[in-house]
Structures are given as C-alpha cells and as structure tokens.
Structure 1
C-alpha cells in the first residue's frame, strides 16, 4: 500500500517543521533516537499503535501522514492515544475483523453517494 519509508519521510518532515530533534521526539515517545531514525528512514517498521502519539508530538493528523491519496483508509480516523493503545492489545485476528468492517462500511457509504 505504501512505498517503504513514505510514512517515515512524512513524519520526519513534520518533526523538522516543528523544530524537534530526534532526541527530543525519542524522549517524548519513550523510544531511542536510533529507533526514531530507523522508522523515519523506513529501515524499521513503524508500529501503527505508535502513530497517534507520534503525529500529536509533531503536530500533524493521521490523515496528513497517510496522505491525500489514502483519504478513504481507516487510518485517517483520529484515534486518540488510549484507543490506539487498546487496539494494539487486540489479537491480530480481531484487528483484521476491524479492518474489514471499516472497509466494508466505507464501500457501502461510497456506493450510496
């Protein structure tokens, strides 16, 4: 769905625009600067449950980080950090069901427009 590193590049650009260093962001998110750097460059997978807090820290929305080309994607929903944390604790099978329900709901809405 995304080219490797696309989300990371957008997050890095937002971090720089906000004037934050990698060390500052890492401290805020409870990660190491090395992890931040790897996620921004795409050499390490960026966990979905981390995105809401990261976006909040650099001052962008989830919709902005995913880009206009994916406005229909479930990730544009502004999950608050608590919801993202709860979601991250769900078994993968339940996450797949949630993704399917959101996609089905979107397709139904789109067909009725």
Structure 2
C-alpha cells in the first residue's frame, strides 16, 4: 500500500470538520494550493505542512504516523485472508494470478 499524501490531508481536514476555505483562513495558504495538495498535483514543503497541520489542529507527524484505522482490515478482508490461508500453495498461486488479472482490467 502506498502513502497518498493528498488523500491523507483531505481525510484529516474533513475529520476535523474543516473546509478548504476554513483551512485557508487559519493558515494563510491559498485555497488553490490546498486543493493542489489534496489532489496530488503539487507537493508541499515540510515548512508548509507544519503551517497546514497547525491550522488543522494536529501535530505534523500525525500526517504520517497516526490514524492506523485507515489501514485496519474489514471483516470481509479478514475472511479473505482466513480462506486464503486454507488454500494449497498451487491454489494460492492460481488465485494471485486471477486477482492480478482482474485488477489490471479495471
């Protein structure tokens, strides 16, 4: 799983009940810049991330190291893992091939 900074910023902002305009007002950063960050069109510097984090009311490290709930498995995902573990090595190899093929088609 790769880290999506834009999605993380958007999720943190929304979890605090803040709009882009509110973060703009509290940070002094332009709304366009904030939107570009959230859409991964531009990467913020650490200095700007610190300003953003302060405006949102979090520690800048929380952007990268907190809210593990984003990575928690659902009950359905847990069931898939349980079932996968019951397969033979050959069946696992075949299933992985099928899944990779399905993902590529999307």
In structure 2, C-alpha distance between the alignment counterparts of 1:16 and 1:34, rounded to whole Å: 17
C-alpha distance in 1 between matches for 2:6 and 2:44: 8
Q: Structure 2 stretches of 5 or more lacking a match? A: 67-106
The aligned counterpart of 1:66 is: 64
Structure 1 ranges of 4+ moved more than 4 A: none
Gaps of 5+ in 1: 69-113
Looking at structure 2, the residues matched to 30 and 56 of structure 1 have their Cα atoms a distance apart, in angstroms, of 11
Query: 1:54, CA displacement in angstroms?
Result: 1.1
8 A Cα contact 1:11 1:58, kept in partner: no
Quote the Cα distance in structure 2 between the aligned partners of 1:11 and 1:59: 12
Asked whether the 8 Å contact 1:22–1:37 carries over to 2, the reply is yes
The number of residues matched between the two structures is: 65
CA drift of 1:21 comes to 0.7
Correspondence list, 1:48-67, <5 A: 48-67=46-65
Q: Quote the residue 1:10 is aligned against.
A: 8
Distance in structure 1 (CA, Å) of the matches to 2:43 and 2:60 = 17
CA distance in structure 2 between the partners assigned to 1:54 and 1:32 by the alignment: 11
The structure number with the bigger radius of gyration is: 2
**TM-score normalised according to structure 1 size:** 0.50
* Partner SS for 2:61: helix
